[in-house]
Chain A
Amino acid sequence: MHAYTAAPPVDPAWRARIAWTLVAVVVLIPTGWLAEFNPAALWGEASLRSTRQFLATFFPPRVDLPFLALVAGATWKTVAIATVGTTLAVVIATPFALLATRVLSVSALAGGRMCALCAGIRVAIRSLLIVLRSIPEIVWALLFVRAVGLGDTAGVIAIALTYGGMLGKVYLEILESGETQATRALLANGASRSQAFLYGTLPVCLPELMSYTVYRWECAIRASVVMGFVGAGGLGQQMELSMKMLAGGEVLTMLLVFVALVSVADTVSSTLRRWLA
């Protein structure tokens, strides 16, 4: 008879725990060194003083009328940049998505395979869309501020390009993931491709296409505030100026306006999307 012995009070997972701790230490030390991680720097005499001075200027927020008017103008400009940018992005994305979608391929329908040239064009468009969206909008803005000068034009172009790439990719996915039988039936029975698209594909996909576009508009509002920091106009540019002057009261007012703007855009976008669905 085997005598019962209580299991020793040892953590059954101790090997894994030690291994993970070792991995963490090995990864963290060089990482911290590379990132110049040094919390002590925050408690240095000079940095404490400048932090305290900067924070002290935050209160009270600046709310005199001329300043509020300025902020309101900048906020509206941010909305305008986002709206025009997103509209242009739709203009960029739509033809690309139409050209690149496999749903409307006649050769794929006939022989089951696309012709080499058509397939090549589709790959080329997809790669172009990847390039457009893999450069962040703020980098586009940085480039265009140098090409076309400071101001909202750079912001509009930056949003149009990045979001054109994103919308193009998502439009493609939506077109290809929806019900395609209607489109294929129309094509097979001799409808032209524009007819097949307008009467077969579009009615099925439109709600989703519109709702994703509205969602992107909401993101564009957030992005256009951030792009202002590199001189692309709107609320961000004002915020950057105030920060440079260490005018905390102005920064606080604009932060509050920014948070309000984002939550309004959020509400508008979710209402619109519910209505579109």
Chain B
Amino acid sequence: MSNITRTVVAPLAFLLFLAACVATLSGDWASLFSLEALGKMGDFASGFVPPAMDAPFLARTGWAALETLAISVLGTLLAVIGGLALALPASGRWGLPAKFAARGVLNVARAIPELVWASMIVVAAGLGPFAGTLALAFHTTGVLGRLFAESLENVPPDANDALRRNGVAPAAAFCYSTLPQALPQLTSYTLYRWENNIRAATILGVVGAGGLGQMLYFHLSLFQTHEAATVLFAMIALVALVDVLSNWLRLRMA
């Protein structure tokens, strides 16, 4: 790339693109930063202090946090099952047509974000944490399935071949050779995804899929900002807790 492209053309192109973007946005930025607007935002922010701390509400928040945790665990677990089931064909075990079909399914599942899955599944499963669990499971199946397929492809086939040549059935050969070899990597992918899914599970509730997000949405809609502040703290604490926990698990397993 020539120097002039790097120093003149590229920055100019970026500035033009940025200007076009700013021009499309309807936001009236001058009035947003006016004293009046800032004062209103200040009022809104100060409405969050102090967070609601009465015992029944804290208990309810704790319960919602547990629900969020349950959604993330179960969603991830279902995704492990689904991901593994699709990773087998996607890693090319049952021929090329099956491989492409499985990859296609995985790509679609992964391309649709959890929240969009949730808003569609709510129609079928009704409001509540079950819809959130399924939404996480679908999206994560796409993510894990692809990662699992790649891990399975990368396992050296020697052990599997040796077992097969000595007359072991394909399923048993897979369980006793390929799977144990890939297992550490599969586990670490799963843990990493679980961390992600806790974050996702906290917010899925805004489309009615249960957990802390649903509580936050509910209280914000009613402008009960003290309660919303408590839920926000619970969200941050939950995510921090899981980060610490999974770091510790990873260190122990490595």
Count B interface residues, CB 8 Å: 57
Q: Which of A239-256 contact B (CB under 8 A)?
A: 239-240, 243, 246, 251, 255
CB distance from A208 to the nearest CB of B (A): 16
**Is A175 an interface residue, CB under 8 A from the partner?**
no
Contact A83 to B111, CB < 8 A, known contacts A42-B125, A139-B235, A229-B119: no
Query: Interface residues, chain A, CB within 8 Å of chain B?
Result: 27-28, 30-32, 34-38, 41-42, 47, 50-51, 54, 76-77, 79-81, 83-84, 87, 131, 134-136, 138-139, 142-143, 146-148, 151-153, 156, 222, 225-226, 229-230, 233, 239-240, 243, 246, 251, 255, 258-259, 262, 275
Bound: A31/B71 CA distance, A? 8
Known: A31-B73, A134-B239. A246 touches B123 (CB 8 A): yes
Nearest Cβ on chain A to B132's Cβ, whole angstroms: 8
Hey, what's the 0/1 contact readout for B206-231 against A, CB within 8 Å counting as 1? 11001000001100100100000000
Main secondary structure of the interface of A (DSSP, over half): helix
B182 within 8 A of A: no
Q: How far is the CA of A82 from the CA of B54 in the complex (A)?
A: 39
Report B39-54 CB contacts with A as 1/0, cut-off 8 Å: 0110011000000000
* Contact indicator B22/A142 (Cβ below 8 Å): no
| Extra A-B contacts (17), CB below 8 Å, given A35-B129, A36-B210 | A31-B74, A34-B67, A36-B128, A36-B129, A47-B124, A47-B126, A51-B123, A77-B25, A80-B20, A146-B223, A147-B41, A152-B25, A153-B29, A240-B119, A258-B112, A259-B111, A275-B1
Q: Name the residue of chain B whose CB is nearest to the CB of A131.
A: B236
The answer to whether A38 and B130 have CB atoms under 8 Å apart is yes
Question: Which of A84, A131, A239, A240 has most B Cβ within 10 Å?
Answer: A84
Sampled A-B contacts (8; CB under 8 Å): A35-B70, A41-B126, A50-B124, A84-B22, A153-B27, A156-B25, A226-B113, A233-B26
Secondary structure of the B contact surface, majority rule:
helix
CB of B24 within 8 A of CB of A77, answer yes
5 shortest interchain CB distances as A-B pairs: A34-B70, A153-B27, A80-B21, A51-B124, A35-B70
Residues of A within 8 A of B27 (CB): 151-153, 156
CA distance A135 to B240 in the complex (A): 11
B115 interface contact, C-beta 8 A: yes
Chain B residue nearest in CB terms to A153: B27
Contact with A along B183-201 (1 / 0, CB 8 A): 0000000000000000100
A-side contacts of B96, CB under 8 Å: none
Within B150-184, the residues touching A (CB, 8 Å) are: none
Give A61 Cβ to nearest chain B Cβ, in Å. 14
**Bound CA span A230–B133, Å:** 20
The verdict on B120 contacting chain A, using a C-beta distance below 8 Å, is yes
CB contacts (< 8 Å) of A84 on chain B: these are 18, 21-22, 25
Q: Are B124 and A42 in contact (CB under 8 A)?
A: yes
A76 partner residues in chain B, CB cutoff 8 A: 24
Q: Which residue of A lies closest to B199 (CB)?
A: A136
**Is B59 an interface residue, CB under 8 A from the partner?**
no
**With the chains together, A275 CA to B218 CA distance in Å?**
46
Asked if residues B130 and A35 are in contact (CB atoms below 8 Å), the reply is yes
User: Does chain A have a CB within 8 A of B66?
Assistant: yes
Taking a contact as CB atoms under 8 Å apart, the answer to whether A152 and B119 are in contact is: no
Interface residue B202 (Cβ < 8 Å from any Cβ of A): yes
Q: Which residues of A sit under 8 angstroms from B245, Cβ to Cβ?
A: none
A41 to B130 Cα, complex, angstroms: 9
* Option from B37, B69, B202, B203 in Cβ contact (under 8 Å) with A148: B37
CB distance from A261 to the nearest CB of B (A): 10
Residues of B within 8 A of A243 (CB): 119-120, 123
B232 at the interface (CB under 8 A from A): yes
Given contacts A135-B235, A142-B217, A229-B115, A34 and B66 within 8 Å (CB-CB): yes
Which of B32, B116, B133, B207 is packed against the most chain A CB atoms within 10 Å? Answer: B116
